Amino acid sequence: MPACRPGAVSLVTGAAGNIGRSVALGLARSGVRVVLADLASAADGLDESRELCVAASTDDYTNASDHRTVTFDVTDFGEVASAFDRVAAEVGTPTLVFNNAGYQGHFANLVDYDLADLRRVLDINVAGVFAVLQSAARAMQAAGVGGAVVNMASMAGVSGAPNMGAYSTSKAAVIGLTKSAAKDLAPLGIRVNSVSPGFIGPGFMWERQVELQASVPSQYYADTFDEVAEQMINMVPLRRYGSLDEVAGAVLFLLSDAAGFVNGVNLEISGGGA
């Protein structure tokens, strides 16, 4: 795994979830101090992620008390801003930020899609990502330091996934936001990139999307779990889904100094699939 700057403070949203946990662990292994953020309702998962980070920190740069948890809802702009203020005062300014919290939304054809769910998806995946990015940039600006942010997009936002109209819309917006923010924040020494994982597994999101695509009638997928899983794998030139470690590796690269001249890029982690 690429190593990030030891001793730096990082903040990972969605850190109780699969990808957030995996990136938090990679950061901890690099000797980075990790602030693990998620919803208050995910506090148990957040504590588990923190324990794993503590166990992974066997270097000189960190000790158990360096990894903290913080809870906020990314859609509550006041909560996001005050969480960043608290973290900056108590731990230090996060200079490596993985803006990852997200919600997949319903699976339904566009003609049937529930507009209330559309609003929820956009609120979490777009407004939430925007708010975290803004608070992170304000904190770095106030401290007079630069840093790096990686926003979580998705191949759904690159190619448009069937039955995922709201999610695809939201992730395309994240890619646009990334490119715009990369320009706005460059003068502050803050790089902004995004990652777009394709099919990643095993785990909850893989199973949920296979199951739900099988349950919605469409010309693109069959109606059983096994057939849909096979169809999805056959769409990937490398003929497998990606692992959590492979997502974490790409995120850590973008957060590391090795990517010091990489800015405004959306990195596809898809095995070559569209």
Ligand X SMILES: NC(=O)c1ccc[n+]([C@@H]2O[C@H](COP(=O)([O-])OP(=O)(O)OC[C@H]3O[C@@H](n4cnc5c(N)ncnc54)[C@H](O)[C@@H]3O)[C@@H](O)[C@H]2O)c1
- By CB under 6 A, tell whether 252 contacts ligand X: no
Ranges within 71-90 binding ligand X (CB under 6 A): 73-75
Pick from 36, 101, 131, 248 the residue near ligand X by CB under 6 A.
101
- By CB under 6 A, tell whether 152 contacts ligand X: yes
- By CB under 6 A, tell whether 17 contacts ligand X: yes
Scan for tokens 């608290």, then name that residue. Answer: 86
Q: CA 65 to CA 195: how far, in whole Å?
A: 30
- By CB under 6 A, tell whether 38 contacts ligand X: yes
Judge whether 221 and 212 are in contact, CB under 8 Å.
Answer: no
- By CB under 6 A, tell whether 42 contacts ligand X: yes
Scan for tokens 């995004």, then name that residue. Answer: 194
- By CB under 6 A, tell whether 212 contacts ligand X: no
User: Cα–Cα distances in Å, from 112 out to 120, 169, 223?
Assistant: 16, 16, 18
Residue type at 226? D
- By CB under 6 A, tell whether 200 contacts ligand X: yes
Residue type at 180? S
Shortest CB 210 distance to ligand X, Å: 10
Residue 16 vs 149, nearer CB to ligand X: 16
- By CB under 6 A, tell whether 151 contacts ligand X: no
Shortest CB 32 distance to ligand X, Å: 19
Q: Which residues contact 37 (CB under 8 A, 6 or more apart)?
A: 11, 12, 13, 14, 15, 46, 69, 70, 71, 72, 83, 101
Q: CA 172 to CA 152: how far, in whole Å?
A: 11
Two structure tokens written together for 244: 């959590």
Binding segment for ligand X among 10-18, 81-89, 134-142, 143-151 (CB under 6 A)?
A: 10-18
Task: Indicate if 241 belongs to the active site.
Answer: no
Scan for tokens 């779990």, then name that residue. Answer: 225
User: Cα–Cα distances in Å, from 90 out to 34, 44, 67, 83?
Assistant: 13, 22, 12, 10
Residue 23 vs 137, nearer CB to ligand X: 23
Pick from 4, 8, 11, 19 the residue near ligand X by CB under 6 A.
19
| Catalytic (active-site) positions | 167
Site residues for ligand X per CB under 6 A:
13-14, 16-20, 38-39, 42, 73-75, 100-104, 124, 128, 152, 154, 197, 200, 204-206
